[in-house]
Structures are given as structure tokens and as C-alpha cells.
Amino acid sequence: MKRFNDLTDFSTQEIKSLLKLASRLEQKPEPRALEGKVLSLLFLSPSLRTLASFQAAMSKLGGSSFVISPDMSIHGLETRPGIVMDGEAAEHIREAVPVIASYGDAIGIRAFAERKNLEQDLADREFESLASLANVPLINMESAIQHPCQSLADWKTMDDLKIPSNGGRFVLSWAYHPKALPLAVPSSTVRMAAQRGMDVVVLRPPGFELPSKIMQDAKRLATENGGNVSETDNRHEAMEGANVIYAKSWSSTSHYGDRLGDQALRENLLDWCVDEPWFDNSREDCRFMHCLPVRRGVVVADRILDGPRSVVIQEANNRMKAQMAVLHRMLKG
Ligand code: CP
């Protein structure tokens, strides 16, 4: 494996094989599998889980890793192309990426969306430009439109919980958040659940439709894998018989890049906070999923996060286990 960028680059069989490897490494640890291997980690955006889980995954496999981020004691990092560097920044990303990559056997890069231009973010231009500077195997640790590590871990979490693929109902719900957030998690999540063959419903208020390109991809994946994808703003209809609700906030797509327009839409949507009444007509054992970090009392009520429906800690823990499989496949073969 040379590139782990988009989960849908892999066939359903290949994903299942990666998850089987994750289970094998859980049952039969291989603490020397990646001895002598180094993973370079470049974080141009903040993280808790991704940063910690990649470092832990490398350690558990006998390898090592190092982290570079602009918050550290490095020279000011310039990311804009074609700029005259007569300001604070002393180093350009065009040199920094190949240097960092050259110290390791693979590189992970995180760079969130600029959220100014939807087409540009859908094409993942900034990430692809960074990726083109590294000549070692690459892992996308979240870009404008992809979060494949999160999706692989979420797929594993549902397998662990024996949530059915074909026939299981998966609700991806928009939730309120004071800020306009990127599309990476919802766009990866809807396609992951579709590829898992689930009955996927995207529940969102008007103005927050997922981009048609993402929905079309999800519908194609669902068709190929015996699932279905639909979209609604009707909570009762969406939640009927649901096995899972996956909450996430994202930017308005009708007002993408328009901060005030987005703000005007979302300020009337404070009641999009997942709470027990949402589960009135779901399956009794309907689970609550979220990639974290999550704002308590804003995105979801405490009693859901602290109650038996929530599997958010398990999802976060599966980040490390799923990534161990990716690293093993990438660096050991
Ligand atoms: N879910 C996730 O990617 O978490 P971090 O942003 O903390 O890495």
C-alpha cells in the first residue's frame, strides 16, 4: 500500500481484509513488526486522537514516529504558494514537506479545509499539493474532504458491536455547532456506511445538504454493496428503526465560505442537539457515534454521551487499532 487517502480507493474486500488484520494484531500482537521504521507526522491542523493514536500504533508495532506542527519550536511555516517571504515565516512548506518525508519510511499529513471554495475543497487541492511534495508512502490524517482513518475505525466499531451491514440503518445527522466545520467527516462517513452496505439516511436541515458529488458517490457505493442512501430533514422519518445515529456538524453548503450567511442559517438550529427524544422510534439499542471532539450540551446531551448508547470512546480507541493495520500493510507489506 503506497497511499491511504480515500477509503473508497479500496474494494470492500480489501477493507474487510484490513479489518481482519486489525483483529489479528489485537489478538496476536507483533511488537517487532515495524522495527527500525519511522513514521513522519505533519500536523498543519490541531488534533488529539490522530496525533496520539498514530504514535501509539507505531510504538506497539516496534517502530517510531516524530511530530511536526506549526505550534512547535520550528521556524514560522509559510504555506501560501508564490509568496515573497519577507514577513515572519522563515521556511516554506515546499521545502519542509520533502525534508520531513525524507526522515521517515512513510508520512501522515493533516491539513483541514480552507472552507472558502466548495469546488476547491471537494477536489482536495491543498492536500494533493502537499502530498505531491512527499516521495514516500502517504497517509491522509484528515484533509478538506477525506478522513479515511476515522472511517476505517468507525467501520470496525460497528463490526465489533455486531451492527448489521446489509439491513442495518445508519443515520448521519447534522448537529448544531457554533462554528462552520469542515465536510471531511460527513463526506467520509456517508460513503463508508454506504460501502458497508447499510441503509443510510442523511438527516440535515435545509441549506446543509451534502454536496451532490458526495451523495452520488455514496449512492453508487450503496448500490454496489446492497445498501441504500437517502436524505431528509424529517427527524422522525430518519430515525425509524435506526441502529446508529452518527452526529456531526458541518458547514452550510448553500452558503459555503459565506460566514455570515452560514451563521444566519445555523442560529435557528440550536435544537439540533441529539437527546433521548430523538430515539423515540429508533431501535431500542440504537447507538450514538461521533468522531470527537464533541461539544457537550451543544451537539449532544450529556445523558446520551454518558449513557449506554454512546460508543464514542470505543471509536476513538479503534483509531489506533485500525491504523496499526494500515501501518502494517504499508510498511511491512
Ligand atoms: N476524530 C479525530 O480525528 O480527532 P482529532 O481531531 O482529535 O485527531
What is the residue with the minimal CA distance to atom 6 of ligand 1? 47
Quick one: cell of 194? 454506504
Do 290 and 312 form a contact (C-beta atoms < 8 A)? Answer: yes
pLDDT value of position 267 = 95
Stretch 222-228: mean pLDDT: 98
280 Cα to the center of ligand 1, angstroms: 30
Quick: pLDDT tens for 72-125. Answer: 877 889 999 999 999 999 999 999 999 999 999 999 999 999 889 999 999 999
316 CA closest ligand 1 atom index: 1
187 Cα to the center of ligand 1, angstroms: 15
Q: Which helix (H) or strand (E) is 138 found in, with range?
A: strand 138-140
Quick: pLDDT tens for 137-155. Answer: 999 999 999 999 999 999 9
291 CA closest ligand 1 atom index: 1
pLDDT value of position 317 = 98
pLDDT value of position 299 = 98
142 CA closest ligand 1 atom index: 3
148 Cα to the center of ligand 1, angstroms: 12
Query: What residues does each domain of the chain span?
Result: 3-147+316-331, 162-310
Whether 3-147+316-331 shares its CATH topology with 162-310 is answered: yes
The reported pTM is: 0.97
Ligand 1 neighbours, Cβ below 6 Å, are 47-50, 142, 150, 291-293
Distance (Å, whole) CA 333 – CA 319: 20
Quick: pLDDT tens for 3-15. Answer: 999 999 999 999 9
Q: What is the CATH number of domain 3-147+316-331?
A: 3.40.50.1370
Ligand 1 mutation pick, 41, 42, 43, 49, max ligand atoms within 8 A of CB:
49
Do 180 and 259 form a contact (C-beta atoms < 8 A)? Answer: yes
Do 158 and 176 form a contact (C-beta atoms < 8 A)? Answer: no
pLDDT value of position 137 = 98
Q: What is the CATH number of domain 162-310?
A: 3.40.50.1370
Q: Which helix (H) or strand (E) is 277 found in, with range?
A: none
What is the residue with the minimal CA distance to atom 4 of ligand 1? 49
Quick one: cell of 96? 519542509
Residue 182: pLDDT band by 50, 70, 90 thresholds?
very high
pLDDT value of position 104 = 98
Mean pLDDT of the chain: 97
